[in-house]
Amino acid sequence: MKQFILPSPPDSNGTIRLSGADYHYLARVRRLKAGAVFDARLPCGEEVRLAVQAVGSRSLRCAAEPRPRPPPAPQKDMPPVALFQALPKPSKMDIIVRQAAEGGIAEIAPFVSAYSPANARASGSGIDLKIARWGRIIKEARQQSGSAVSTVIRRPCSFQDLIRYWESRKSPGAAGILLHQTFLSSGGFHEYLAAPPDLVVLAIGPEGGFSPSEAGALLAAGFKPALLGAAALRVETAALYAAAAVRLILLERESWMWKNS
């Protein structure tokens, strides 16, 4: 584990109490005792150093203080990358959530597409259970990978609500990219990301891709179409592939823009 993600910030006295799965991991798996010190990350992304004050039978108390760090190396500004993911089979969605958290995706917005399978269309308590499971997957993925991005996942919605949400988020500097299974335009990632975006949103369908009406609605809402090569990718591979391509292109933007100028 590269980092420990705390479920909540410290109280006004700088104290954090951990119980449940967090207590089990620290006290039973890592076997931390009073006096032990370890580094962690707050939900907001801030790094802290925790000193274990007491270990009880069901909870663990720690004192938090800012983590001393060397001066940070210069980093290029990276706009938030969001994933609009049509719900695929539940097992595949779990993989997508994990890979998105590891890859620094800031937001995952699941939605029900025309081709989403029936077992992905949970309602009521079923949705609450899914969101709770995805939250655990995100936490574990961030702890394992060390991602500083606090990935959030929205409650699944309908396709129409997704379009409305995009309209509320869209700005002149936002880049919406539709990953479609068939050729719609000769445009590509480098073209769409040439002007520095302040937000990148990737829209990916379920197994079978988007329906023609959904693709048309996304294009009408300002999304630009792109293909991920000639090979047909699995839905969980497409999400990882697209997110990695966006991050790499943005990180190396100065290099390829200079060569093309």
8 Å CB contact between 176 and 222: yes
CA dist list (Å): 26 to 21, 41, 113, 141? 9, 15, 41, 17
Distances in whole angstroms, Cα of residue 10 to Cα of each of 13, 30, 45, 133, 143: 7, 21, 13, 24, 19
Domain ranges of the chain: 15-66, 81-258
Are 37 and 29 in contact by the 8 Å Cβ rule? The answer is: no
List per-residue pLDDT tens for the chain, 261 residues long.
678 999 899 999 999 999 999 999 999 999 999 999 998 988 877 889 999 999 999 999 999 988 776 555 445 578 999 999 999 998 999 999 999 999 899 999 999 999 898 877 766 668 888 999 999 999 999 988 888 889 999 999 999 999 999 999 999 999 999 987 665 566 788 888 888 899 999 999 998 889 999 999 999 999 999 877 666 778 888 888 888 888 888 888 666 655 555
Q: What is the DSSP string of 209-224?
A: ---HHHHHHHHHTT-E
- pLDDT for 184: 59
Spell out the CATH class of 15-66.
mainly beta
**pLDDT value of residue 135:** 94
CB 233 within 8 A of CB 92: no
CATH number of 81-258: 3.40.1280.10
Report the C-alpha gap between 51 and 40 in whole angstroms: 11
